[in-house]
Amino acid sequence: MADGMIGINLTRHIYEKQKEHPEATGELTGILNQIAFAAKIVSREVNKAGLVEILGLTGKENVQGEEVQKLDDFANEIFVNTLGRSGHFCIMATEEEVDTIPIPEGYKCGYYSIALDPLDGSSNIDVNVNIGTIFAVHRKITGEEKGTAEDLMQPGRNLIAGGYVVYGSSTMLVMSTGNGVHGFTLDPSVGEFLESHPDIKIPVKGKIYSINEGNYPYWSEGVRQYIDHIKEKDKATGRPYSTRYIGSMVADVHRTLLKGGIFMYPADNKDPRKPHGKLRLLYECAPMAFLCEHAGGAASTGTGPVLDVQPTELHQRVPFFAGSAQDVRELEEFIVKYD
Ligand code: AHG
Ligand code: MN
Ligand code: MN
């Protein structure tokens, strides 16, 4: 880009894209700008986390039975307050709240619902490793002014927007409104997200696998056989693959979108309370699957597309295998063969 030329910012990108989709209301622009605004505030806090009293635990546990970090709470507050008062949504849900979150009294209800993981990768907060926010936006499908859980618990196939913010060496917003996947990098000097990764496409086959190998003894036979297979030496098929595991879903999926390969969080029998793995459908797996498919990749529960799962509970978990189409397909073949 020529010096002095400011790139396409988020607003202009959506406007350009929407010209191809006149049916999409201008609200999408407003929705994504509000998400970007909240992300800038969280980014500022994340980037000085080591300096102010924002690290560490709150001493509380969330609905998942997990320790709540101060930054989890901070990010949850920022996104819920900003989006709840934006006039775009009829109901919200986040990882940190047991039940659905209504729009505050006195504020307009809109025609969309949003589910959020306000701070993904909490275990990495105190060690200065990439963390993120994940969002999933559906159109309202119920008739009353105030939305219900039904507006949130739609299959990922219905998503009208999905994406994440990754707070790392730079802060990036990666999103799709169903028309390709696009990455924007925050330029703090102008406070704008500028398009830096137009039309991201996942390579059809990768050379990286990403999984928490510590759970190996708890996986199904099919998953274990697949992992053993990609570690065998076979130059013709590019094996063994390299392994990369950051432990923040946003960071592992971001790398997979850009470099290809396969990210996995299988079901495991380690914790009887979590028979379907650790990752939540509504605000982790569905939006990430939406991005992977729109980037030309695939996202599977091991037995079918994540986007086709009809949610039955707000915080339900599903097994998650996503990335290069050929790698995900091969994993599914191992599950069919051995499980
Ligand atoms: P969150 O911090 O929102 O609870 O999400 C953490 C998730 C996800 O980011 C990551 O992929 C996974 O936890 C890592 O889990 P393990 O530590 O069990 O590998
Ligand atoms: Mn998460
Ligand atoms: Mn989280």
- Say whether both 213 and 334 belong to one domain: yes
Does residue 237 share a domain with residue 148?
no
Contact of 273 with 220, CB cutoff 8 Å: no
For residue 4, being part of any structural domain is answered with no
Higher pLDDT, 29 or 152: 152
Structural domain range at position 287: 208-338
For ligand 1, pick from 66, 120, 283 the residue to mutate: most ligand atoms within 8 Å of CB. Answer: 120
If asked whether residues 185 and 237 sit together in one domain, one would say no
- Residue 283 sits in the same domain as residue 237: yes
Kindly report, residue by residue over 40-91, the tens digit of the pLDDT.
999 998 887 666 565 666 777 777 777 777 889 999 999 999 999 999 999 9
Q: Helices marked H in the chain — which ranges?
A: 10-19, 27-46, 70-84, 149-152, 221-231, 249-259, 286-294, 325-338
Domain count for the chain: 2
Instruction: Tell whether 1 is covered by a domain.
Output: no
Whole-number pLDDT of residue 1 = 46
What confidence tier does 105 reach under pLDDT thresholds 50, 70, 90? Answer: very high
Candidate from 7-11, 31-35, 223-227 with smallest mean pLDDT: 7-11
Mean pLDDT confidence for 140-154:
97
Q: Are residues 170 and 228 in the same domain?
A: no
Give the span between the Cα atoms of 74 and 199, in whole angstroms. Answer: 32
Lowest mean pLDDT among 18-32, 87-101, 124-138, 214-228: 18-32
Same domain, 86 and 223: no
Residue 202 forms part of a structural domain: no
Answer yes or no: is 233 within a domain: yes
Q: Which residue has the higher pLDDT, 266 or 7?
A: 266
Which residues are placed with Cβ below 5 angstroms of ligand 3, an ion?
95, 117, 119-120
The b-or-e profile of 128-149 (16+ CB within 10 A means b, else e) is: eebbbbbbbbbbbeeeeeebbb
User: Sheet holding 89-94: strands in order across?
Assistant: 101-102, 89-94, 112-120, 131-139, 161-167, 171-176, 182-187, 192-197
- Residues 157-169: pLDDT tens digits? 999 999 999 999 8
Pocket of ligand 1 (CB under 6 A): 66, 95, 117, 120-123, 212, 247-249, 265, 278
Task: Answer whether residue 5 is part of any domain.
Answer: no
Cβ within 8 Å of residue 301, ≥6 positions away: 309, 318, 319, 320, 321
Last residue within a domain, chosen from 137, 170, 197: 197
Those residues with Cβ within 8 angstroms of residue 272's Cβ, 6 or more apart along the chain or in another chain: none
The answer on pLDDT for 92 being more than 70 is yes
Pairing of strands 320-323, 298-300: antiparallel
- Residue 191 placed within a domain: yes
Domain co-membership, 29 together with 164: yes
pLDDT of residue 48: 77
As a whole number of angstroms, the distance between CA 233 and CA 2 comes to: 46
Residue 317: CATH number of its domain: 3.40.190.80
CA dist., res. 144 & res. 149, Å (int): 12
Atom 6 of ligand 1: nearest residue by CA position:
121
pLDDT tens digit sequence for 250-267: 999 999 999 999 999 999
Q: Within 10 A of 293 (CB to CB), how many other CB atoms are there?
A: 22
CB proximity list for 23: less than 8 A, separation 6 or greater: none
Among the candidates 150, 177, 197, a domain finishes at: 197
Residue 25 has pLDDT above 60, yes or no: no
Q: In this structure, are residues 179 and 21 in contact, taking their beta carbons and an 8 Å threshold?
A: yes
The pLDDT mean for the chain works out to 92
Q: Is the four-CA dihedral 156, 260, 271, 333 of positive or negative sign?
A: positive
The answer on 120 and 221 residing in a single domain is no
Question: Per-residue pLDDT for 154 more than 90?
Answer: yes
Q: Whose CA is nearest to atom 16 of ligand 1?
A: 247
**Is residue 203 domain-resident?**
no
For residues 24 and 40, give the distance between their C-alpha atoms in angstroms, rounded to a whole number. Answer: 25
Same domain, 193 and 75: yes
Q: Indicate whether 29 and 151 sit together in one domain.
A: yes
Predicted local distance difference test score (pLDDT) of residue 96? 95
Q: Under a CB-based contact definition with an 8 Å cutoff, are residues 87 and 107 in contact?
A: yes
Q: Are 334 and 216 in contact (CB under 8 A)?
A: no
Return the residue matching tokens 């999103």: 175
Q: Which ligand is nearest to the CA of 131?
A: 1
Q: pLDDT-based confidence at 11, cuts 50/70/90?
A: confident
Can you give the pLDDT at residue 3?
A: 44
Report the alpha-carbon distance of residue 193 to residue 85 in Å, rounded: 22
User: Which of 292, 120, 137, 289 minimizes the C-alpha distance to 206?
Assistant: 292
Task: Tell me, yes or no, whether 242 and 150 share the same domain.
Answer: no
User: Domain for residue 3, yes or no?
Assistant: no
Which CATH number covers residue 39?
A: 3.30.540.10
Statement: the pTM of the whole predicted model exceeds 0.85: yes
Counting beta carbons within 10 angstroms of the beta carbon of residue 329, is it exposed (0 to 12), middle (13 to 18) or buried (19 or more)? middle
